Amino acid sequence: MAAAAFSPSFFFSLSSITDSEGKNDNVISTVNRFRNPGSLLLLRHCRGTRISCSSTASDPTSVHHHQQLKSRRPPEENIREEACRRDEANASHGFSACYVPFDAPADTAETYSLDDVVYRSRSGGLLDVRHNLSALKRFPGSHWRALFDSRVGRTTWPYGSGVWSKKEFVLPEIDPDHIVSLFEGNSNLFWAERLGRDHLGGMPDLWVKHCGISHTGSFKDLGMTVLVSQVNRLRSAPLNRPIAGVGCASTGDTSAALSAYCAAAGIPAIVFLPTDRISLAQLVQPIANGATVLSIDTDFDGCMRLIREVTAELPIYLANSLNSLRLEGQKTAAIEILQQFDWEVPDWVIVPGGNLGNIYAFYKGFEMCRELELVDRVPRLVCAQAANANPLYLYYKSGWADFKPMVAADTFASAIQIGDPVSIDRAVFALKATDGIVEEATEEELMDAMSLADRTGMFACPHTGVALAALFKLRERGVIKTNDRTIVVSTAHGLKFSQSKVAYHSKEIANMACQYANPPVHVKANFGSVMDVLKKKLEGKLSL
Ligand SMILES: C[S@@+](CC[C@H](N)C(=O)[O-])C[C@H]1O[C@@H](n2cnc3c(N)ncnc32)[C@H](O)[C@@H]1O
Ligand SMILES: C[S@@+](CC[C@H](N)C(=O)[O-])C[C@H]1O[C@@H](n2cnc3c(N)ncnc32)[C@H](O)[C@@H]1O
Ligand SMILES: Cc1ncc(COP(=O)(O)O)c(C=O)c1O
């Protein structure tokens, strides 16, 4: 199979299809991404004319037409036909995006091309990617819903990705040849049936969005595919920008995602990591992917300050979520949730927060769908912080009166051990706009919540534990009601944080009861000893 996958014939296919007007289109597609990393070459014969074709954007105007065809044709032929219609569709519809200062008025004169290397506004504030909504509004919400639904799980580059299936809402103008995608997104929305029923007072409509079940094991893949694709575009002809590499400071997951996407595209990655403050699994990811890894004797906030200084001096593109491109990819998780509920809007979405880009990205995804009439409202957002790293929580509790950056203390939720969040303004905006709430979780609360979730079939990370602990508190206070449709966002794969689970189940953690610990039973290697243990376990029970 491996040999076949690399042979040119595997990627060479010729099919003859008939379009709606009854003409024959020959489509030849040759994919050479595996031999020439980061580039995808599609050569097609459309209506007898050979075109060297880079765009594989399906024309949003033709969705309904394709749906009619679905009933008549095998799926593979529809994909081929779609490939022949989509050229230049985005350009002709005027879909575009640019940077503007965060929360700028609609008529702001301060705009930047996405091809500019710019991270801050003229006044030093955050930037935001603004889409040409009037162009997108020429199509009704029903149209976008049908288009996005039609692309789920497709093999057509780049639409199989949960991010690039929403390309018009993300980076409408990027050429698919420049996209660096590892099939991110399309993550499971886990029905937390047992957790809701047995531990949250019979909550029937509780779901966990498993963003961490992804190529590098965290939601960071969603944003990184967008940022690295844009860098790939900047470095490639015709722009040929002199960008030597891409750099980030990280609490572990951003560096893992950056390193993998850069390695796939052949772009150098440089990552600044706080020594001894990330998990071993996270540390080994950029090492394995060949990034330049600097382990720096400071915390995340210290690494962040250093990377900003360094990227101001060297031709290294800054990949932190200060860079608003990342949020364009991350916002697709919100759109995906709506899609997974057949475009019904949930009541609550709970997101663990550290640097606070993700909570805004969720807001942006939901709000864009509301504004473009894919849905008619947005859910209430909850941002959940570790009590040891809770500057947003304290700000919220002060009635948004007094924001104080802090030095964050150690937490098992190490990826959110951040005391001076870059996206604080974005988070406050998102929470105010959605009648949102901020909650916090102590170390014991977050580890217990994570471990209880594991007992109902999950393998959650401690950050997901923070969000789950917030849910427990909001249920206890009656803020979230039994029948509210509630989503907890799981941000990373539990396997990246197995050390914390080992410590918990070994009951090794000082001042923590570890009430759900389930340590292995050490047994001598003989029948009698094994039987003794199992009989004891079965006492009073019919089965294991
Ligand atoms: C083998 S390619 C299909 C090639 C296609 N039939 C063609 O000739 O253009 C499809 C696979 O590529 C992988 N893939 C990775 N990223 C993708 C993306 N963004 N969109 C579609 N497929 C992607 C997926 O695993 C998918 O199953
Ligand atoms: C939110 S439910 C859709 C609910 C549906 N509209 C209904 O009311 O019955 C769909 C999601 O459930 C999740 N899911 C989890 N386990 C599933 C399973 N065994 N079969 C189908 N979907 C499952 C998937 O991630 C999928 O995207
Ligand atoms: C696993 C995990 N959860 C949550 C977060 C918090 O996301 P944000 O920094 O966007 O608030 C991060 C990264 O910082 C993370 O790696």
Provide the ipTM: 0.93
CB atoms within 10 A of CB 311: 23
Judge if the beta carbon of residue 188 lies within 6 A of ligand 2: yes
Is residue 173 situated within a structural domain?
Answer: no
Residues 403, 390 contacting (CB under 8 angstroms): no
Cα(457)–Cα(450) distance, integer angstroms: 11
Shortest-distance atom of ligand 3 to CA 357: 10
Q: Which atom of ligand 1 is nearest to the CA of 163?
A: 19
Q: Is the confidence at residue 517, as pLDDT, over 70?
A: yes
Residue 70 has pLDDT above 80, yes or no: no
Residue 378 lies in a domain: yes
Instruction: Give the CA count within 13 Å in the CB-facing half-sphere of 206.
Output: 26
Does 400 have pLDDT greater than 80?
yes
What does the pLDDT read at residue 544?
45
Last residue of a domain, one of 263, 297, 325: 325
What spacing in Å lies between the alpha carbon of 101 and ligand 1's midpoint?
36
Supply 279's token pair.
């998990």
Distance, in Å, from the CA atom of 224 to the CA atom of 261, rounded to the nearest integer, reads: 7
pLDDT at 362: 98
Atom of ligand 2 nearest to the CA of 340: 27
Look-up of token digits 């593979």: 76
Minimum CA distance residue for ligand 3 atom 13 = 415
Average of per-residue pLDDT across 137-146: 98
Looking at residue 360, what is its pLDDT?
A: 98
- By most ligand atoms within 8 Å of CB, the mutation choice from 183, 184, 186 for ligand 1 is 183
pLDDT at 51 over 60: no
Q: Identify which has the larger pLDDT, 541 or 140.
A: 140
d(CA 161, CA 222): 9
| 540 band by pLDDT with thresholds 50, 70 and 90 | low
Is the pLDDT reported for residue 83 higher than 60? no
Q: What pLDDT does 541 receive? A: 65
Query: In angstroms, what CA-CA distances link 513 with 198, 443, 461, 466, 516?
Result: 21, 11, 19, 17, 9
Is 518 contained in some domain?
A: no
pLDDT of residue 252 exceeding 50, the answer is yes
* Mean pLDDT along residues 172-182: 97
- Does any domain span residue 524? no
The residue nearest atom 1 of ligand 2, judged by CA position, is 341
The pLDDT of residue 428: 98
Distances (CA, A) of 239 to 119, 416, 544: 19, 36, 64
CA end-to-end distance (rounded Å), the chain: 41
Name which residue sits closest to atom 10 of ligand 2, judged by CA: 340
Decide if 345 contacts 376 (C-beta within 8 A).
yes
Report whether pLDDT(56) > 70.
no
3-state helix, strand, coil split of the chain in percent (to 5) is 40, 15, 40
State how far the Cα of 393 lies from the Cα of 93, in Å rounded to an integer.
43
Coil, helix or strand for 384? strand
d(CA 13, CA 83) in angstroms, rounded, equals 13
Task: Supply φ then ψ for residue 101, to 5 degrees.
Answer: -60, 145
pLDDT of residue 11: 24
Min mean pLDDT across 59-73, 290-304, 339-353 is at: 59-73
What is the spatial distance between Cα 34 and Cα 43, in angstroms, rounded to a whole number? 16
Greater model confidence, 23 or 78: 78
**Residue 403: helix, strand or coil by DSSP?**
coil
Phi-psi bin for 489: left (phi > 0), alpha (psi -120 to 50), beta?
beta
Q: Which atom of ligand 1 is nearest to the CA of 156?
A: 21
Measured CA to CA in angstroms, residue 3 lies from 8, 9, 85 at distances of 10, 11, 33
Which has more confidence, 83 or 177? 177
226 lies in the same domain as 211: no
For residues 239 and 211, membership in a common domain is answered with no
CATH of the domain at 286: 3.40.50.1100
332 and 321 within one domain: no
Asked if residue 158 lies in contact with residue 56, where contact means CB atoms within 8 angstroms, the answer is yes
* Residue 176, ligand 1, Cβ within 6 A: no
CA angle 306, 308, 313 (to 5 degrees): 95
Indicate if 394 and 265 belong to the same structural domain.
Answer: no
> pTM for the complete prediction?
0.86
Assigned domain for 98 exists: no
Distance in angstroms (rounded) separating the CA atoms of residues 12 and 112: 40
Residue 156 lies in a domain: no
* Backbone region of residue 242 per phi and psi (left: phi > 0; alpha: psi in -120 to 50; beta: other values): beta
pLDDT at 92: 75
Query: How confident is the model at residue 15, as a pLDDT?
Result: 27
Interaxial angle between packed helices 332-340 and 357-371, expressed in degrees from 0 to 180 and rounded to the nearest 10: 60
Q: Please list every protein residue whose CB sits less than 6 Å from any atom of ligand 3.
A: 218, 251, 253, 321, 352-358, 415-416, 461, 463, 491-492
**Mutation to probe ligand 2, out of 188, 208, 214 (largest number of atoms < 8 A from CB):** 188
The count of other CB atoms within 10 Å of the CB of residue 277 is 22
Q: Are 52 and 65 found together in one domain?
A: yes
Q: Are 416 and 495 in a shared domain?
A: yes
Look up the domain containing 15 and give its range.
2-93
Residue 87 confidence class, pLDDT cut points 50, 70, 90: very low
Regarding the beta carbon of 353 and ligand 1, being less than 6 Å apart is answered: no
Whether pLDDT at 270 is above 60:
yes
* Residue 315 shares a structural domain with residue 332: no
> To test ligand 3's pocket by mutation, which of 251, 393, 425 has the most ligand atoms within 8 angstroms of CB?
251
Q: What is the mean pLDDT of residues 19-42?
A: 30
Are both 209 and 242 inside the same structural domain? no
Q: Tally the domains of the chain.
A: 3
* pLDDT band at 55; cut points 50, 70, 90: very low
Instruction: State whether 365 and 469 are in the same domain.
Output: yes
Q: For residue 86, what pLDDT is reported?
A: 53
Do you know the residue count of the chain? 544
Instruction: Assign 79 to helix, strand or coil.
Output: helix
Number of other residues whose CB lies within 10 A of the CB of residue 246 = 28
Task: Give the pLDDT band (50/70/90) at residue 261.
Answer: very high
Report the C-alpha gap between 263 and 261 in whole angstroms: 5
Q: What is the pLDDT of residue 89?
A: 65
Q: What is the pLDDT of residue 153?
A: 87
At residue 392, the 3 state secondary structure works out as helix
Give the closest ligand to the alpha carbon of residue 176.
1
Q: Distances in Å between the alpha carbon of 40 and those of 54, 235, 363?
A: 8, 15, 33
Task: With a cut of 60, say whether residue 542 has pLDDT above it.
Answer: no
Lowest mean pLDDT among 20-24, 278-282, 431-435: 20-24
Closest atom of ligand 3 to CA, residue 321: 10
How many angstroms separate the CA atoms of 458 and 444, rounded?
18
Say yes or no: 267 and 410 in one domain: no
| Higher per-residue pLDDT: 147 or 88 | 147
Residue 170 included in any domain: no
User: pLDDT above 70 covers what percent of the chain?
Assistant: 82
Q: Where are the beta strands (DSSP E) in 258-347?
A: 269-274, 292-296, 316-318
Q: Residue 481: pLDDT above 80? A: yes
Residues 472 and 453 in one domain: yes
Of the residues 148, 165, 340, 487, which should be mutated to test ligand 2's pocket, given the most ligand atoms within 8 Å of the CB? 340
Closest C-alpha to ligand 1, atom 17: 183
Q: Is 118 within a domain?
A: no
CA of 181 to the centre of ligand 2 (A): 25
Which among 283, 310, 325 is the end of a domain? 325
Domain end call among 48, 68, 93: 93
158 lines ligand 1 (CB under 6 A): yes
Q: Answer yes or no: do 242 and 391 share one domain.
A: no
Q: Minimum-distance ligand to the CA of 229?
A: 1
Cα 340 to Cα 188: distance, rounded to the nearest angstrom: 9
At 12, the pLDDT band (50, 70, 90 cuts) reads: very low
